[in-house]
Structure 1
Amino acid sequence: MASITKRTSDDGDVSYFVRVRLKGYPLQTATFKRLTDAKKWAASTESAIREGRHFKTNEAKRHTLAEAIERYTREILPTEFTNVEQSNRRPILEWWASQIGHCVMADLSTATFADCRNTLATSGGRKGRPLAAATIKKHFVVATDVLKRCVNEWHWLEQSPLKDGGIKLPELPRGIVRFLDDDELNRLTAACKESPNPLLYPAFVLAISTGMRQSETMNLYWREPETPPSETAWGVVNLAESCIILHETKNGDRRRVPLASQALAELQKLNKIRRLDSALVFPSPTHPSQPIELKKAWLNALKRAEVNNFRWHDLRHCTASYLAMGGASMVEIAAVLGHKTLDMVKRYSHLSDVHIANVVERMNSKLFGGG
């Protein structure tokens, strides 16, 4: 049976002390500031004990978070995530194990994870440096998934302390959109074309024409490799169908990338002079089994073109920006870039304002006649 006792402190603060005692089970207690919360906890705890779902005193005290992480790494990662995502999650899981892996499941609380959040924000990165908001969020996405398995699949925990966003995480900064204006595009295109490195220009054209990530571009093969790279995105060129098939991507989806115009022409040229000792489209001249390193050639091209504050990844922003200004919808841009949701492409929405205005104007002209 459950009993609730109202308590008033010397300062006048009111709290409600709950006792849940069932024959054959240890006494369970908790304190709440609101009577409604106290009643809910009493009812749910009593029900969980009767139905054998209350693990606070058994399974939750038998297992540590380190055990949960080890089981998650062994059973969940290889079966439910791509190689790329596995490589992303492993160091995060190792971090959680090093910080609070010793804690038994019953001792985990929102306060425990709040302390970890603070550590990540102040000294959780390499060499004790703070981590970016997006990286902190990723750590909690992984931890939340581990605890979810503990609750729903393994029954090591009654309720996750990270359920329903109990931890306030740093807000993500608004995405920066940096794309080349016409003059910058012309200068950089010329600089890449004139580069002593013959692979810079075709790689540049392919990246800006398709919106592929750098890892996807640099790990392209003419044929499927015998041993695909295990920790990065990769794909295969299909000139017969004028496309690229990306077998591993950041979000785990297989993606078909159309090839057209200059991008297709550049790959056709490379195909005629490709190396016989490598299946890579952009192989290293000294280590043909590995992708070429274009960083030096790229930086020299940027300097020669007098283009500042621009990264290779910004070529992907260029693709999306040009699509938006050309009238592509957010759904279409997401499909090209390989995003599962529209959140990542909303940053380009302002670039399509003129197109949207034209669409509305055409609709009104059709309905009410042009003026």
Structure 2
Amino acid sequence: MGLYRRGKIYWASLTHNGEQIRFSTKCRDKKEAEAVYAKILLELKIGKVAVIQPEKKEKITFNQFFVEQYLPFCKKQSSYNTKRYSLNMIPEWFKSTPLMDFNTRHIDLFVSELATTRKPATVNKLLHIVKHAFRKALDWELIDEATFKKIDKVKPLKGETKRLRYLNQEEIQRLLSHCDNYLYPIVFTALNTGMRRGEILNLKWENIDLKNGLILLEKTKNGERREIPMNESLKTLFRQLYTQRRLDTDYVFINPKTGTRLTEFKRSFATALKKAGIRDFTFHDLRHTFASQLVMAGIDLRTVQELLGHKTITMTLRYAHLSEAHKREAVRTLENKLYHNFITISLQAK
């Protein structure tokens, strides 16, 4: 009981005459909402308010909920733009359906329709976003548990290829050597931290703690705060950038032409890849490279999970096979360098 938010508006919940009642304070500011809530409680106590009418269950559509309540809630997440763009791929009939009317058939049709023109990975990503939206609708009591269970029971499509592309040491050096002056620090940061593209471009100098060697991320994909340690090479890079920084912006990485926050470098990155002779590679694969190199260096998966900011170990397990493969390769190297001649000589002597 108390105050809670639905989108940008604060709602209140209280018990009156043995019945739980929820109503809108019609306030966006928390202090104003608290004042309204306190006034209602006082009036109830002295008997001034005879009865409070409970909220009427409005038949809001998926589109109304997604735009007016869900997206504002996601605004601080790094995945906000992805979720906002995803609305363009959702069919109109789906967006116009009232939240309380959804059932398993609606989600099945949604998945089937998308699967005719989209890859399984894209369909599953959209399904995940839709399910998360309905989860928040349940939390905010816009739908009931039974409705959510009907939606949640729909499984992701099979046949999704889990792509894992990473660079070896020689490829890393080639790529860095072909990055131009403003791209090099961005790529170097990704390779040494595993940070996502959005996290890097949103970096401000207040997030860089050179004294303690930490990058402090307030805005991450899963909405949780993350601290990333910097190695000496990265600290040296940021010290150089700090001495050359512009005083008219707080952002670390800026557009050299406009002096504003850098938002795109796709063409420069593609050029660097081409010059380095690297194919089938995306900027996000630098994150895979960071994790893969750590695992192959013997770092445990739990530590890699924390560095990447994965909420669960499940996502990190995709790198587990690299650890085993690297161990086998290490044993083979040892055999070739130290014991091959010894075994051969021993067998001949017998």
Shorter chain as normaliser: what TM range?
Answer: 0.5 to 0.7
Please list, as runs of the form range in 1=range in 2, the aligned pairs for 1:123-202 lying within 5 A after superposition.
123=117, 132-145=122-135, 148-149=138-139, 153-154=141-142, 157=144, 159-160=146-147, 162-163=149-150, 165-171=152-158, 173-192=160-179, 197-202=180-185
Q: Distance in 1 between matches of 2:145 and 2:299?
A: 47
State whether residues 166 and 285 of structure 2, in contact with CA within 8 Å, keep that contact through their aligned partners in structure 1: yes
Kindly report which structure 2 residues correspond to 1:74-113, keeping only aligned pairs within 5 A, or say none.
74=68, 78=72, 82-90=76-84, 92=86, 98-103=92-97, 107-113=101-107
The whole-number CA distance in structure 1 between the counterparts of 2:163 and 2:273 is 19
Q: Which runs of 5+ in 1 are unaligned?
A: 1-58, 224-235, 359-371
Do structure 1's residue 204 and structure 2's residue 187 form an aligned pair?
Answer: yes
Gaps of 5+ in 2: 1-53, 330-350
Query: 1:63 deviation in Å?
Result: 4.2
**Paired position in structure 1 for 2:204:** 221
Measure the CA separation in 1 of the matches of 2:193 and 2:100: 50
Aligned-pair distance for 1:93? Answer: 6.0
**Contact 1:137 / 1:169 at 8 angstroms: preserved in 2?**
yes
How far does residue 215 in structure 1 lie from its aligned partner after superposition? 1.3
Q: How far off its partner does 1:64 sit?
A: 2.9
- Going from structure 1 to structure 2, the CA distance change for 1:328 and 1:280 (only over 3 Å counts) comes to same
Aligned partner of 1:341 in structure 2 is 312
- Distance in 2 of aligned mates of 1:295 and 1:71: 33
Question: d(CA) in 2 for partners of 1:203 and 1:91?
Answer: 25
Give the secondary-structure state (helix, strand or coil) at the position aligned to 1:169.
coil
Percent identity over the alignment is 29
1:1-371 pair list within 5 angstroms: 63-66=58-61, 70=64, 74=68, 78=72, 82-90=76-84, 92=86, 98-103=92-97, 107-123=101-117, 132-145=122-135, 148-149=138-139, 153-154=141-142, 157=144, 159-160=146-147, 162-163=149-150, 165-171=152-158, 173-192=160-179, 197-223=180-206, 236-291=207-262, 293-353=264-324
Partner of 2:37: none
Task: With the length of structure 1 as denominator, give the TM-score of the two structures.
Answer: 0.64
| Structure-2 residue corresponding to 1:11 | none
Letter of the 2:195 partner, please give it: M
The TM-score, its normalising length taken from structure 2, stands at: 0.67
For the aligned residue pairs, the C-alpha RMSD in angstroms reads 3.5
Deviations 1:194-240 (A, max 9, x none): xxx312222221110111111111221123xxxxxxxxxxxx21212
Deviations 1:302-356 (A, max 9, x none): 2222122221111111110011011111111111111111111111101111677
**Does structure 1 retain, via aligned residues, the 8 Å contact 2:77–2:220?**
no
Assess if the C-alpha contact under 8 Å between 2:135 and 2:148 holds in 1. Answer: no
